[in-house]
Amino acid sequence: MKIALALGALIGLLLTIVPSILVAIGLLSWQTHAVLMTIGMIVWFIAASLYPQPAKSS
Amino acid sequence: MTEATTTITQKLDALYEYDREPVHEKSFQGIGKFLGVYGGEHIAGTEYVIGPLFVSHGVTAGDFFLGLIIGNILAVLSWAFVTAPIAVKTRLTLYWHLRNIAGPRLTALYSIVNAVMFCFLAGSMISVSATAIGLPLDMKMPALEDMLPNSVEWVAVVLLVGTAVTALAILGFEKISRFSSIASPWMVLVFIAGAIAVLPTLGVQSPGDLWRVANERIWTGVPFAGQTKFTFWHVMFFAWFCNLAMHIGMSDMSLLRFAKKWQYGFASATGMFLGHFVAWTSSSVLCAAAAGSVAPGPIAYMGAGIAGAVSVVIAGWTTANPTLYRAGLAFQVVTPDWKRWKVTLVAGLVTTIAAVFPALMMKLLDFVALYGLLLMPMGAVIVADYWFLPRMGLRKEYAAHRGLGLSWPVLIAWLGALAVAFALPFEIFFVALPGWFVAVLLFVGFSFIQQKYLAAAGERGSQ
């Protein structure tokens, strides 16, 4: 589960940054980039929120 | 002390009771904690405003980057060489350390000034969030020259956001902190992605175009109508002093007292170079792509769509909340019998009313400079008390030693430094540095008089 959440968080971040680079080099439209960023945002917040927090030391 | 001030200072002591003792070794934190805290704290909603304000003041690309690099390095060095060494030696919060030097009554006054400034700072963050919430409502955005509310919709949206932020600050500070730490890495990428995505609209076809476009389209060197011209010195001093209250003003003693070594002060580089370098650069690019618009919501939406607008709301909200919480904490000293929720409610009300005025957001550079300037003399006093007084044969923390309610050398240093700073014929960005030296000189000089002459005369008189 932990690995799946870490992978989800990574995908969320990649969906946030990679589409903008593709827009800059002309391989993606701005509209698609905006949609992918929105999906990336949702994926990131779900995965990062569910990822177990390290136990607090005393 | 009068009965009223005794009650206030007792209340203040009770509020910070938990932090009264120096941090124990078992509570020390590793470098990772500080890298994360600084990285998160300096990627705030206000970063969306600061970049565009530099653009509007006609900074050139060379001045912008050189000023940011040098100013940010000076800020990191200030944390590392001014704040951290005293923090790890005393292991006390700013409040308790200052109380020993300035006395409880003067420390209470300092806390109240700090609280008022916190309210205005949180207000600017609420304004930032409101520009994104207003997007789907087709709200008229405040312009650079707007000092008063420009529409009924703006007032309604700010009141809505202010109410939500205040309610959340009352309900749970811890959960917001957790949410804020989750949002930080994503927000950095939204800033960067938004800026990259608009590069083609500015005329960047290849990496070779970047510097030309930076000079011709973004940091053109020409101020917007009605704006003053900024130079390298403005950028450098602003980058150095925008967190003046935290480093040279010493309020980050409260954080760095948990550091194992003073060298952890260098961890502030994450905040300076991710937040104040990358984010300010990105928001400048977005401003240029939005044809000079400085409203954070629209410019973030232009670069990153819905994710950009959401990031503005989250960036404003997650930073307004702890700021409002701290303001409530500080205000509690003058409302002895009030519950925390009631104080936070009043602080939220003040903050929301302030946020209604776009002047707070549009004059953010001046406000941030003023905020640091007002609190800086106390940092100068702490440095002088720690390093200089013992070398002159004077006693450190004299107010605590003599049980004084108020240290008059500290009061004179505070007010005197501010009077000199405001009297200097320079812009507000440049007066903090001479003000620091004035505060040190006044404090050391009057401490000498207090300890060598007046105390000696008092002792002779009592014999």
Residue with tokens 């997007």, as numbered in its chain: B135
Residue with tokens 């307004």, as numbered in its chain: B320
The complex scores an ipTM of 0.93
Q: How far is B175 from chain A (nearest CA, A)?
A: 11
Selecting from B178, B182, B307 the residue whose C-beta is nearest the C-beta of A16 gives B307
Residue of B nearest to A39 (CA): B307
Show residues of chain A in contact with B200, CB under 8 Å.
23-24, 26
Q: Do the Cβ atoms of B125 and B57 come closer than 8 Å?
A: no
> Is a pLDDT exceeding 80 seen at residue A57?
no
Report helix, strand or coil for B227.
coil
Mutate to test the interface with A, among B186, B188, B204, B278 (most CBs of A within 10 A): B186
Task: Please report whether residue A18 resides in a domain.
Answer: yes
pTM for the model: 0.88
Are B197 and A20 in contact (CB < 8 Å)?
A: yes
Q: What is the CATH number of the domain that holds B219?
A: 1.10.4160.10
pLDDT-wise least confident of A4-13, A44-53, B327-336: B327-336
Give, for B269, the enclosing helix (H) or strand (E). helix B268-270
Q: Do the Cβ atoms of B98 and B329 come closer than 8 Å?
A: no
Residue-range definition of the domain harbouring residue A22:
2-50
Nearest CA to B354 out of B147, B65, B135 is that of: B147
Token pair of B144 as six digits: 């650079």
**Which residue pairs, CB below 8 angstroms and at least 24 apart, start in A15-19?**
A15/A39, A15/A40, A15/A43, A16/A40, A16/A41, A16/A44, A16/B186, A16/B189, A16/B190, A16/B193, A16/B307, A17/B189, A17/B192, A17/B193, A19/B193, A19/B197
Other beta carbons within 10 angstroms of residue B164's beta carbon come to 18
Give, for B180, the enclosing helix (H) or strand (E). helix B173-202
Q: What angle do CA B361, B34, B307 make, to 5 degrees?
A: 45
Token pair of B260 as six digits: 């194992």
- The per-residue pLDDT string of chain B (463 residues; one tens digit each, 9 = 90 and over) reads 555 556 666 666 665 555 667 888 888 888 888 888 888 778 888 888 899 999 999 999 999 999 999 999 999 999 999 999 999 999 988 888 999 999 989 998 998 888 888 888 889 989 989 999 888 888 888 888 888 998 999 999 999 999 998 888 887 666 777 777 788 889 999 999 999 999 999 999 989 999 999 999 999 999 998 889 999 999 999 999 999 999 999 988 888 999 999 999 999 999 899 889 999 999 999 999 988 788 889 999 999 999 999 999 988 888 887 778 777 777 776 666 777 788 888 889 999 999 999 998 888 889 999 999 999 999 999 999 999 999 999 999 999 999 999 999 999 999 999 999 999 999 999 999 999 999 999 999 999 999 988 777 766 655 4
Selecting from A23, A38, A41 the residue whose C-beta is nearest the C-beta of B197 gives A23
Residue-range definition of the domain harbouring residue B210:
3-462
Number of domains in chain A: 1
Are A48 and B310 in contact (CB < 8 Å)?
A: no
Map A6-53 to HEC letters: HHHHHHHHHHHHHHHHHHHCCCCCHHHHHHHHHHHHHHHHHHHHHCCC
Give me the pLDDT at residue B333, please. Answer: 62
Are B26 and A16 in contact (CB < 8 Å)?
A: no
Task: Please report whether residue A57 resides in a domain.
Answer: no
- Cα distances from B313 to residues A47, B121, B133, B280, in angstroms, run 20, 16, 7, 17
CA distance B346 to B325: 11
**Rama region for B226: left / alpha / beta (φ>0; ψ in -120 to 50; rest):** left
Q: Do the Cβ atoms of B224 and B58 come closer than 8 Å?
A: yes
Alpha-carbon dihedral angle through residues B158, B164, B166, B170, given to the nearest 10 degrees: 180
Give me the pLDDT at residue B41, please. Answer: 79
Give me the pLDDT at residue B2, please. Answer: 55
Selecting from A24, A38, A44 the residue whose C-beta is nearest the C-beta of B186 gives A44
Identify each DSSP E strand in B96-205 by its residue range. Answer: none
The residue type found at B216 is E
Q: Do the Cβ atoms of B8 and B336 come closer than 8 Å?
A: yes
Number of domains in chain B: 1
Task: Please report whether residue A20 resides in a domain.
Answer: yes
Show residues of chain A in contact with B132, CB under 8 Å.
none
